[in-house]
């Protein structure tokens, strides 16, 4: 039971970190932008993040996933982080949160 609480707490910490990472072309964090599809934390505190980019030709296609990995691995208690990029489903503006849309003047 204690491990379940730990993974839930780590999940919350991971989301906080993700909300501090911004797409350099759009002034909105990658979590609210809808680039994060899934965050998985196992009982060994290994993390897997499934994310996408705004387009396959995104100029930060190499650096953004590495930034996510590096920042997640700095969270206390995280053993290892893996970031997987997918384009299925492709990112669309519909994946953005209401907060992101408001920030970008789309509401």
The pLDDT tens digits of the residues spanning 20-53 come to 999 888 889 999 999 999 999 998 999 999 999 9
CA dist., res. 87 & res. 91, Å (int):
7
What tens digit of pLDDT does each residue of 54-96 get? Answer: 988 888 888 999 999 999 999 988 999 999 999 999 999 999 9
CATH topology of domain 2-98: GMP Synthetase; Chain A, domain 3 (3.30.300)
Q: pTM of the prediction?
A: 0.90
pLDDT at 1: 43
The ranges assigned to domains in the chain are 2-98
Tell me, what's the pLDDT at 38?
A: 96
Which pLDDT does position 30 carry in this prediction?
Answer: 96
Closest CA to 47 of 55, 34, 56, 38: 38
C-alpha separations of 81 from 55, 64, 66 in Å: 23, 14, 10
- Residues 60, 31, 6: CA angle, nearest 5 degrees: 120
């Amino acid at each position: 039971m204690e491990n379940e609480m730990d993974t839930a707490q780590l999940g919350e910490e991971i989301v906080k970190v993700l909300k501090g990472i911004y797409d350099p072309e759009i002034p909105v964090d990658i979590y609210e932008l809808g680039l994060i599809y899934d965050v998985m934390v196992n009982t060994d505190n290994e993390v897997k993040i499934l994310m996408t980019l705004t387009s396959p030709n995104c100029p930060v296609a190499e650096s953004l996933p590495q930034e996510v990995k590096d920042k997640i691995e700095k969270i206390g208690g995280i053993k290892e982080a893996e970031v997987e990029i997918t384009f299925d489903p492709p990112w669309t503006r519909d994946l953005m949160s209401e907060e992101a849309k408001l920030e970008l003047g789309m509401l």
